[in-house]
Amino acid sequence: MAKMGISLSFLIGHVYYWGQAMRDKVFSHAKASLLDRTGKRNGLLRCIENAVTRKMWKEPETILAPEECISVDAALRAVSRDAAWQCHSDHEVGTLEPGKFADLVVLESDPREADPNSIGDIRILETWMGGRRVFST
């Protein structure tokens, strides 16, 4: 994929919701470990906490393929700059720069400093679209 310049998009929620079933009932551990790989190979993901922890809801103490966990910074980049690039919209969105739409959220705390298991619990204080606040607590 890298050689061909192909970007992979996937639903990281598979790990959380179906990781245990894929491991125990559908595939072996070895094959299930290939489910929604993130690591440093793909870099695109949809759910920051799940990409960082790779925990499964039926077995929250178990990490499916821990070698595929990525950093919070990599996850944040994947859902912003990398996602915009994949949609061919990186000239408009994905980073905060002059001339781009200012679409962003203001969070209660910094996800890079939070317990990785509680990133999904961080409250959104404000949402901005096109440089205008559209939501505030």
To which H or E segment does residue 76 belong?
A: helix 72-77
* Tens of pLDDT, residues 92-107: 988 999 999 888 888 8
* Tens of pLDDT, residues 39-83: 443 323 647 888 899 998 889 899 999 998 999 998 888 888 887
Q: Which of 41, 21, 37, 13 is nearest to 120 (CA)?
A: 13
**Does the model's pTM come out above 0.85?**
no
Residue 128 has pLDDT above 60, yes or no: yes
Round to whole Å and give the CA distance between 128 and 90. 18
Query: What is the DSSP pairing of strand 59-63 with strand 104-107?
Result: unpaired
15 in Cβ contact with 35 (< 8 Å): yes
Round to whole Å and give the CA distance between 25 and 99. 50
